[in-house]
Amino acid sequence: MNDYSVPVVEREKTMIIVEGKHEKTTLMMTILACFPELDINYDDVEVFGTNIYNLYDAIENEYESKWYEEETDINLPLLISRMKGINPPLSKRRYKNIILVFDYEHHDVKYSDEKIYRMQDHFDSATDDGILYINYPMIESYMNITSFDDRGFYESSIPVTLNPGKKYKDYVDANSVVKEYFDALVDLKEALHRNKKSLSDNELLTILQEMIMISPKEVQDEVTRILGNFGYLDDKILNVYYALLTIRDKRLSIESEELLGDKIREILTYIVDLNIKKANYLCRGTECNGDLKEIYYELDWLKVLEKQNKDSSDQESGIIWVLCSFMTFIAQYKFYWRKDS
């Protein structure tokens, strides 16, 4: 009888596979700073670096052409490890949840109704092979809010002829009423990094989480304490202090007693709720009536995709409904709904 045992691997982590750097360095950094309850390690956000159709091809090359029909188990952490040369390779056994975040990419030469349908259909469970959140037309849709009027977002769409993606990004930049809140956190992060370049991403995130929750009455003392704990020099602490004041008082004009973190979290919550309502609108053709939590758990992402495919099929007059499916992932966590209690 041998006396060794196989080590138990605790599946506690959440892996988030994103298409590009913006999703990780701007969006996920902001989300994790404002929602520490998510308990997601920033290092477990993996940038894939290319689009969903290339991921489809990679899956087909690895698991052969019948992977979808045969309902093959897809080991995305291992597949991505091989593609990116990650050694030791990432293990699927280490992750309790796997989340995929990709753009619709209707204009891409590899676009295919069948391929994207297969991806959405197969990746439908975070605790299995993963859950896919497709963003329409692309990830920047989380900022495509031009007023704080729900009706305007319900009806927001873009023509399929609006490409390449830079045109859509430029439109969002010029018209978004929420972009300034994301820019504010980017500016604060850059100020922190500029004044101490040796910080790791996780250290930056920890500092951001603390700094955005500083009471307006204690800004200087708290900035000094927090940054002192991370080895900032006195003159660098002062630089960051003034950067924070500029963001609070000039960029965002936050009320004197309001915490920066509470304000950005409020904006994020609004975006999450709005995209849940929009997804429901695309599924059912009606506005939300009833409990939003129940509506969320009844969302059918395949129906959303089918609606998008149908309405964007005409290459001249087709439209793509603006929707950031990914933002709704936060609503999977129980803490999120305590806001309504």
Q: Is 253 domain-assigned? A: no
Assess if residue 1 is contained within a domain. no
Average of per-residue pLDDT across 64-89: 94
- Number of separate domains in the chain: 1
Residue 222, domain member (yes or no)? no
Per-residue pLDDT at 243: 95
At how many degrees (to 10) do helices 234-245 and 219-228 cross? Answer: 130
139 within some domain: yes
pLDDT digits (tens, 9 = 90+) for 278-334: 999 999 988 887 899 999 999 999 999 999 999 999 999 999 999 999 999 999 999
**Is pLDDT at 3 greater than 60 in this prediction?**
no
66-72 LR contacts (CB < 8 Å, sep 24+):
68/118, 68/121, 68/122, 71/122
Going by pLDDT thresholds of 50, 70 and 90, the confidence category of residue 101 is very high
Strand partners, 159: 319
Average pLDDT over residues 212-216: 94
231 in a structural domain: no
Instruction: Note whether 76 and 44 are within 8 A (CB).
Output: no
**340 pLDDT tier (thresholds 50, 70, 90):** low
Q: Which two tokens stand for residue 45?
A: 């956000």
The confidence score (pLDDT) of residue 12 equals: 75
Q: pTM of whole model > 0.85?
A: yes
Q: Mean of the pLDDT values across residues 70-86?
A: 94
Residue 250 reports pLDDT greater than 80: no
Average pLDDT of 258-277?
95
| Domain coverage including residue 131 | 14-167+301-340
Q: Is residue 289 part of a domain?
A: no
Does residue 330 lie in a domain region?
yes
Q: Is residue 256 part of a domain?
A: no
SS3 letters across the chain: CCCCCCCCCCCCEEEEEECCHHHHHHHHHHHHHHCHHHCCCHHHEEECCCCHHHHHHHHHHHHCCCCCCCCCCCCHHHHHHHHHCCCCCCCHHHEEEEEEEEECCCCCCCCCHHHHHHHHHHCEECCCCEEEEEEECCHHHHHCCCCCCHHHHHCCEEECCCCCHHHHHHHHHHHCCCHHHHHHHHHHHHHHHHCCCCCCHHHHHHHHHHHCCCCHHHHHHHHHHHHHCCCCCHHHHHHHHHHHHHHHHHHCCCCCCCCHHHHHHHHHHHHHHHHHHHHHHHHHCCCCCCCHHHHHHCCCHHHHHHHHHHHCCCCCCCEEECEEHHHHHHHHCHHHHHHHC
